[in-house]
Amino acid sequence: MSIAVLNSNEKTIAINDLRRRFGEIEEALPFVDHFILTKKGRPFAILSATPMVKKEEMKKTAGAFKGTKLATDAFWKDVLKKKSRKTDINL
């Protein structure tokens, strides 16, 4: 597939690639900001997932840290402590 990365959240796809590889692009859609579709090498349209679809993907990962050290307050207290300070940063 000829996907040219413009920046971390923006990709361009030729319209012919969209037709041939719709399944792959559809799977990637919730994880990118949007795709720019090109026709004859020029931008033609913007394709993005709806906010509802993106929210559903985020819900699937909710609670992924449960039962790990990432779920403990002590771990995050240590992470948020600036190493060059003697006291914690209050948020």
Structure tokens that stand for 39 in this block? 């026709």
30-34, 41-45, 46-50, 80-84: the lowest-pLDDT one: 80-84
Q: Which residue has the higher pLDDT, 42 or 84?
A: 42
6-28 pLDDT, tens per residue? 444 558 999 999 999 999 998 88
Collect all residues with Cβ–Cβ distance below 8 Å to 79 and sequence separation of at least 6: none
The pLDDT score that the predictor gives to residue 5 is 43
Please state whether the predicted TM-score (pTM) of the whole model is above 0.75. Answer: no
CA–CA gap between residue 78 and residue 36 (Å, rounded): 42
Structural domains of the chain ordered from first start: 3-80 (3.40.1620.10)
- If we measure between CA atoms, which residue out of 87, 86, 6 comes closest to residue 46? 6
